[in-house]
Amino acid sequence: MKKVYLVYISLSGNTESFVKRLTTFLQFQSDLQVEQVHVKDLVKQDIPFYELDGPFVAFLPTYLEGGNGVDNGDVEILTNPLGDFIAYGGNVDKCLGIIGSGNRNFNNQYCLTAKQYAERFGFPVLANFELRGLQNDIERVGKKIMELV
Ligand SMILES: Cc1cc2nc3c(=O)[nH]c(=O)nc-3n(C[C@H](O)[C@H](O)[C@H](O)COP(=O)(O)O)c2cc1C
């Protein structure tokens, strides 16, 4: 059975809700084995980062310090541990891509950090969704993952 990891960080629960609903979707619609890794929990429980033994998709909500995303406002806050986990050991080579989330009220900064990770690590932005995401977002992202793995 093929396995995919969903690696995420969630501060206020939106991304966590999306990843849980996406996991249920994938379990019903595919024969993938889905494993979730919440990087915030690793940090909170003092669990050292480790190398994954298979492919993963990363989920990154956007938390930027103020600004407008054009000439300022591109300093990442709170979500940096996800980048550290991706950079750990050979993990980056197993990353199929990143899914950004955010709030459209942030205009140019909407999902900006996911784009910055894609540039920094050299993997694609696979999709974006707003806040907790709607059912059609779950289906869109789920189908994309099924195609990739
Ligand atoms: C302090 C703060 C800064 C934020 N900055 C951005 C931003 O620059 N761009 C964006 O698209 N969303 C921004 N958001 C919205 C979050 O990305 C959005 O609420 C997301 O769903 C949070 O995910 P989480 O609940 O999994 O932590 C910000 C939210 C907060 C609280």
Per-residue pLDDT tens over the stretch 8-41: 999 999 999 999 999 999 999 999 999 999 999 9
Burial status of residue 136 (CB atoms within 10 A of its CB: 0-12, 13-18, 19 or more): exposed
Cα of 76 to ligand 1 centre, how many Å?
11
Q: Which atom of ligand 1 is nearest to the CA of 13?
A: 25
Q: What is the CATH number of the domain that holds 72?
A: 3.40.50.360
Full domain range(s) for residue 73 = 3-148
As a dihedral over the C-alpha atoms of residue 106, residue 96, residue 127, residue 5, rounded to 10 degrees, the angle is -90
Q: Which residues line ligand 1 (CB under 6 A)?
A: 10-16, 61-64, 101-103, 106, 109-111, 131
Residues 31, 62: contact at Cβ < 8 Å? Answer: no
**Ligand 1 centroid to 58 CA: how many Å?**
16
Q: Whose CA is nearest to atom 30 of ligand 1?
A: 63
CA of 102 to the centre of ligand 1 (A): 5
- pLDDT, tens digit, 9 for 90 and up, residues 44-85: 999 999 999 999 999 999 999 988 878 888 899 999 999 999
Residue 43 CB-density burial (10 A; 0-12 exposed, 13-18 middle, 19+ buried)? middle
The per-residue pLDDT for range 103-134, each reduced to its tens digit, is 999 999 999 999 999 999 999 999 999 999 99
CA–chain centroid gap for 38, Å, is 10
Percent helix / strand / coil, the chain, rounded to 5: 45, 25, 35
Total structural domains within the chain: 1
